Amino acid sequence: MALWGGRFSSETRNDVAEYTESISFDQRLYQFDIAGSKAHVTMLAEQKIIPDATAKAICAELDKIEHRIETGDFHYDIAMEDIHMHIESALIDVLGAEGARVHSARSRNDQVALDIRLYLRGEVDFLIGELRHFQRALVARAAAHPRTVMPGFTHLQHAQPVLFAHHLLAYVEMLDRDAERLADCRKRIDVMPLGSGAIAGTTLPINRERVRELLGFSRVTRNSMDAVADRDFAIELVSALAIFAMHTSRLSEDLVLWCSQEFEFIELDDAFCTGSSLMPQKKNPDVCELTRGKTARVYGALTALLTMCKGLPLTYNRDLQEDKVAIFDALDTVKKILKVYPPMIETMKLREAKMLAAASDPALMATDIAEKLVEFGVPFRTAHHRVGEFVKYCKEHKKALDETTLDEMRETIPEATPEFLTLFNPVESVGKRDIVGGTGFDQVAKQLDFWKKTLDF
């Protein structure tokens, strides 16, 4: 009979047990369930709710159970539903009635809420560390190519020359905000729910602050109903993971394009690519493509959590058991991305000549001409229009912008001087963008120095 089975007159059907079990996925919470139980019984003994000897015996047996789980010497049975019931049942098997005291002043509702918060707190700390590693890989690659010029894109069309390093550092900025979101989310995870009971707390004289202290939480929950019923902290975390996945998906799309024969800006190491089962010549950037697909998977986890919680009345409902499936999958997916991307970036080869050639189309310096006119006192909109007419003139006469004479340029840009004919060098164009946040050489060097210091290179 299940530990909750006192009021039932028949056993749970096998197919129902299979349908309702969560041990197949929540067993990863065993360390946190054991840590929570040890803190709980320590407090119970201090409050004279259970004997000191009982608390010590329970803690000692919990250590043994943890060792059994870690060494593979622990039997799982779907009839006991979840990791919480497995551990409690194992205690009772050895300690009998004294082991059953572990659940005094506690419900599985607040127990589950505690375990998931303990688990997520550690996961967030790990993820932030991995994000920093990812940032370091991008910064190192950028620093290795501080003067490589490439075309920047808007609407997937060549826009203006930029530094390759500047492009990579844009993703470093995105990842930094991802880390900030995780750190901020951790504040709302780091709240101790144990003592809330099933819904209304307990009549026993427990000390919730003591449990908080033992488990290292920053504060305790203020409302017992909210503590067991909501999963917004987990939804917030998965939302942050979805934003991170979106950022890596965008980076992946850049890499896929840059690898293509149409671009040929980079080559990914063979270790991060696969071939075709039919076409012997193929080298496919599968890691990047899969990341775009796995981003959809993280989005799915977020949608599942939001949809699961949207119609639940207060307080706890069994629907919430399914939260762990989505949470674990999102975390596992993101951790895989974070494991594979730094070494892929570190081993990426650049074709700098191809990048520079693509950035050398004189049309990419059209904005430089307009801004030179502004220096001459021409209003920018007027300058923009005149340069647009100049581009149109060149198109109609099948000439590159740098192939015109000064007289031809003056047909649409009457203010043009011989200096205007020198504005078509992409390297010089990049160098002139020496403003904070710009792609100029000095500015990017300052960005690199900032990130090296920030990330403890």
Element (DSSP H or E) covering residue 153? strand 149-154
Helices (H), 145-270: 164-189, 208-215, 224-229, 232-259
Neighbours of 447 (CB within 10 A): 23
Q: Map tokens 């946190």 to a residue.
A: 32
Q: Tally the residues of the chain.
A: 457
How far does the chain reach from its first CA to its final CA, in angstroms? 58
Active site residue 260: no
With beta carbons less than 8 A apart as the criterion, state whether 82 and 26 touch: yes
- Exposed/middle/buried for 319, CB within 10 Å: 0-12, 13-18, 19+? exposed
Angle at CA of residue 315, ends 310 and 321, nearest 5°:
70
As given in the structure block, the two tokens for residue 191 are 């709240």
Q: Which of 24, 218, 260, 276 is catalytic?
A: 276
Active site residue 276: yes
Amino acid in the structure at residue 157:
Q
With beta carbons less than 8 A apart as the criterion, state whether 344 and 272 touch: yes
What DSSP assignment string belongs to 66-104? HHHHHTT-----GGG-SHHHHHHHHHHHHHTHHHHGGGT
- Strands, DSSP E only, in 199-356? 219-220, 266-267, 349-350
- Residue 298 to residue 422: CA distance in whole angstroms: 50
The residue among 433, 437, 410, 432 whose CA lies nearest residue 421 is: 410
Q: Map tokens 């409690």 to a residue.
A: 88
Q: Which of 9, 10, 155, 277 is catalytic?
A: 155
- Looking at beta carbons, which pairs linking 412-419 to residues 24 or more positions away fall under 8 Å? 412/386, 412/387, 413/369, 413/373, 413/386, 413/387, 413/389, 415/373, 415/376, 415/378, 419/372
* Interstrand relation of 219-220 and 191-192 (parallel, antiparallel or unpaired): parallel
Q: Which residues are marked as active site?
A: 155, 276
